[in-house]
Amino acid sequence: MIFKCALPIFCCLTLLINGSIQAIELTDHPKVKAVADKLISDGHYSQSELDTIFSAAKVQQSVLDAMMNPAEYKFTWGKYRKLFLKQDRIDQGVEFWQQHQRFLERAESEYGVPAEIIVAIIGVESKYGKYKGKHKVLDSLVSLVTGFPRRSQFFAGELEEFLILTKENNLDATNILGSYAGAVGYPQFISSSYRNYAVDFNADGSTDLIGQVEDAIGSIANYFIENGWKTGEPVTSQPTTVVSNKVAELASRKRKVRHTAAELRARGANLNADIDGNEKLGVLMMDASEIVRDEKKSNQYIVRAGDTVCQIAERLNVPCGRLIKLNNINSKGDIFRGQSLTLPVKRADQVKPPKKKAATELVTAPADVDKSKLNQPTESKWQVAAQGAKKGGGKTLSSVEPEQKTNTNQSDDYPANKLDDGPQPVYFYTHRNFYAITQYNHSVLYAMAVYDLSQAIAQQRKSGFVTIK
Ligand SMILES: [Ca+2]
């Protein structure tokens, strides 16, 4: 204990104010002391310098609590996406892109990492720099070294890196703020990543991921290239709900790409013809039913994996034709995962009763719209095959060729509200670039959220739906 109370009331107040905060002494914490000893023996610090720094460090229970409940493990895919794939984050991403276009273009040109990926990372990590963390990094790392045994060795390494980083850059180690895991700045780099991958992208002589967004942009691109990003390659396939049994049995939520395209094709996978047989891919399975719908709160709908435009209309009980017109959707019915659709104010149930079979039926499409295309999944990058999900019920759908199965589903009598019953598997073939995103954060949910957000931002920027102030 670091304090003793002679006055019980004052003591209680102090406890309440401080919670379970405890300042540390090196002699009480051998793992922290070991870090200090190494820093001294390696010539980075003197004992007195470290005594001063650690006398300001405190163990924060809030850090340990947060570490025990990270969003990636606490939430479903749908909830996780809802955290990040919001309209304001998309809007701000377009705005961020506009503001920093020159450096984003340069990063894309020099490193080969698309601007939208960089923007999405910054959007997810710090909401474009608005939230860089409220914890003192020193406190976070000390708390994790002393109070999180499973990864104390890892965080001891980060504590060492952090103190070298602050020394090298003449920063006050006791006052830098970051996440509960010790990540800092626009890109939320942990200290080892900062030291290994950060670059002085605006060439002002300092590498500053906290204060200089330009450095953050270049550093993220550099991180991706150094961690396996392959310029020009895809991240994931378009989602599908129809795969063979032999492909489905490989499906997981693991981030690694383990199976060659040749193996997957032999199992019946319908991969793009330009994927080399030796390229390794993963088979990722998500659950479309995990999507949390927020259309009740606004007149916006975020397109989810598995959607086609008229299915959305049917599900929300709005006229498909009005949805198409209102959102300037082209004659192919192209929509994309993460796109925000404006919904007609007047619901269909105020216009006419919904039809039971309308899940695959165009209700009031404009004359120039090809109805058959609107109701069928296409090879478009953005459209996805939702039809199979309705019948899947969590089981592998079929071992027949996907094209055959997809085409047999069109006129099934199946109430639209059954979409909410049970798991609805959606499969993605993941590429090396998906794995590269998970190098930033190991969660596949994270990678999907980043990718979805990147595509939504790119599409909105291209479509000009947002007025840049
Ligand atoms: Ca700089």
Expressed in angstroms and rounded, the spacing between residue 409 Cα and the centre of ligand 1 is 56
pLDDT greater at residue 31 or residue 345: 31
On whether both 146 and 276 belong to a single domain, the answer is: no
Asked if 284 and 438 touch (Cβ cutoff 8 Å), the reply is no
CB 21: neighbour CB atoms within 10 A?
16
Share of the chain above pLDDT 90, in %: 54
On whether both 325 and 198 belong to a single domain, the answer is: no
User: Whole-angstrom Cα distance, residue 367 to residue 385?
Assistant: 24
Expressed in angstroms and rounded, the spacing between residue 187 Cα and the centre of ligand 1 is 14
Average of per-residue pLDDT across 389-396: 29
Distances (CA, A) of 188 to 69, 124, 156, 198, 445: 18, 10, 18, 11, 17
Alpha helices in 180-260 (DSSP H): 191-197, 213-226, 245-248
Containing structural domain, residue 208 = 20-68+130-226
User: Whole-angstrom Cα distance, residue 341 to residue 351?
Assistant: 20
Asked if 254 and 443 touch (Cβ cutoff 8 Å), the reply is no
Expressed in angstroms and rounded, the spacing between residue 196 Cα and the centre of ligand 1 is 15
259-260 sheet: strands from edge to edge: 259-260, 280-287, 425-430
In a domain, 387, yes or no: yes
101-105, 339-343, 436-440: range with lowest mean pLDDT: 339-343
On whether both 217 and 135 belong to a single domain, the answer is: yes
Expressed in angstroms and rounded, the spacing between residue 210 Cα and the centre of ligand 1 is 10
CATH assignment at residue 61: 1.10.8.350
On whether both 332 and 193 belong to a single domain, the answer is: no
On whether both 276 and 392 belong to a single domain, the answer is: yes
- The helix (H) or strand (E) run that includes residue 142 is helix 137-147
Structure tokens at 434: 């998906």
Q: How far is CA 139 from the centre of its chain?
A: 26
CB 417: neighbour CB atoms within 10 A?
10
On whether both 281 and 409 belong to a single domain, the answer is: yes
- The pLDDT confidence band at residue 52, using thresholds 50, 70 and 90, is very high
Average predicted confidence (pLDDT) for the chain:
77
Expressed in angstroms and rounded, the spacing between residue 215 Cα and the centre of ligand 1 is 5
17-31, 50-64, 171-185, 239-253: range with lowest mean pLDDT: 17-31
Expressed in angstroms and rounded, the spacing between residue 204 Cα and the centre of ligand 1 is 5
Expressed in angstroms and rounded, the spacing between residue 17 Cα and the centre of ligand 1 is 39
On whether both 162 and 252 belong to a single domain, the answer is: no
CB 76: neighbour CB atoms within 10 A?
15
93-97, 114-118, 166-170, 365-369: range with lowest mean pLDDT: 365-369
**Measured CA angle at 370 (ends 369, 374), to 5 deg:** 95
Catalytic residue among 95, 108, 116, 125: 125
Write out pLDDT tens, residues 296-330: 455 777 776 667 888 788 777 788 888 888 888 88
Expressed in angstroms and rounded, the spacing between residue 111 Cα and the centre of ligand 1 is 17
In a domain, 96, yes or no: no
- The pLDDT confidence band at residue 165, using thresholds 50, 70 and 90, is very high
Give the number of C-alpha atoms closer than 13 A to the C-alpha of residue 175, restricted to the C-beta side.
3
Expressed in angstroms and rounded, the spacing between residue 383 Cα and the centre of ligand 1 is 41
User: Considering 180, 208, 226, which residue would you say is the last residue of a domain?
Assistant: 226
User: Whole-angstrom Cα distance, residue 327 to residue 437?
Assistant: 31
Expressed in angstroms and rounded, the spacing between residue 59 Cα and the centre of ligand 1 is 32
Asked if 193 and 441 touch (Cβ cutoff 8 Å), the reply is no
pLDDT of residue 24: 74
pLDDT beyond 90 at 126: yes
On whether both 207 and 353 belong to a single domain, the answer is: no
Expressed in angstroms and rounded, the spacing between residue 178 Cα and the centre of ligand 1 is 19
Average of per-residue pLDDT across 405-410: 27
In a domain, 78, yes or no: no
pLDDT of residue 330: 85
pLDDT of residue 424: 72
Q: Is 233 a catalytic site residue? A: no
In a domain, 204, yes or no: yes
Write out pLDDT tens, residues 190-232: 999 999 999 999 999 999 999 999 999 999 999 999 999 999 9
Main-chain phi, psi angles of 137, to 5 degrees: -60, -40
User: Whole-angstrom Cα distance, residue 303 to residue 7?
Assistant: 60
On whether both 337 and 398 belong to a single domain, the answer is: yes
pLDDT beyond 60 at 2: no
On whether both 134 and 175 belong to a single domain, the answer is: yes
User: Whole-angstrom Cα distance, residue 337 to residue 456?
Assistant: 7
User: Whole-angstrom Cα distance, residue 135 to residue 329?
Assistant: 45
In a domain, 343, yes or no: yes
In a domain, 179, yes or no: yes
On whether both 421 and 394 belong to a single domain, the answer is: yes
3-class SS of residue 300 = strand
Write out pLDDT tens, residues 228-248: 999 999 999 988 888 999 999
- The helix (H) or strand (E) run that includes residue 287 is strand 280-287
pLDDT of residue 428: 93
- The pLDDT confidence band at residue 415, using thresholds 50, 70 and 90, is very low
| pTM passes above 0.85 | no
Asked if 53 and 160 touch (Cβ cutoff 8 Å), the reply is no
3-class SS of residue 326 = helix
pLDDT beyond 90 at 388: no
The number of distinct structural domains making up the chain is 2
pLDDT of residue 194: 98
In a domain, 277, yes or no: yes
Structure tokens at 215: 């450095």
pLDDT of residue 397: 21
Provide the residue count of the chain: 469
Average of per-residue pLDDT across 250-269: 94
User: Considering 411, 430, 449, which residue would you say is the last residue of a domain?
Assistant: 430
On whether both 220 and 250 belong to a single domain, the answer is: no
Highest-confidence range of 15-29, 271-285, 324-338, 372-386, by mean pLDDT?
A: 271-285
In a domain, 261, yes or no: yes
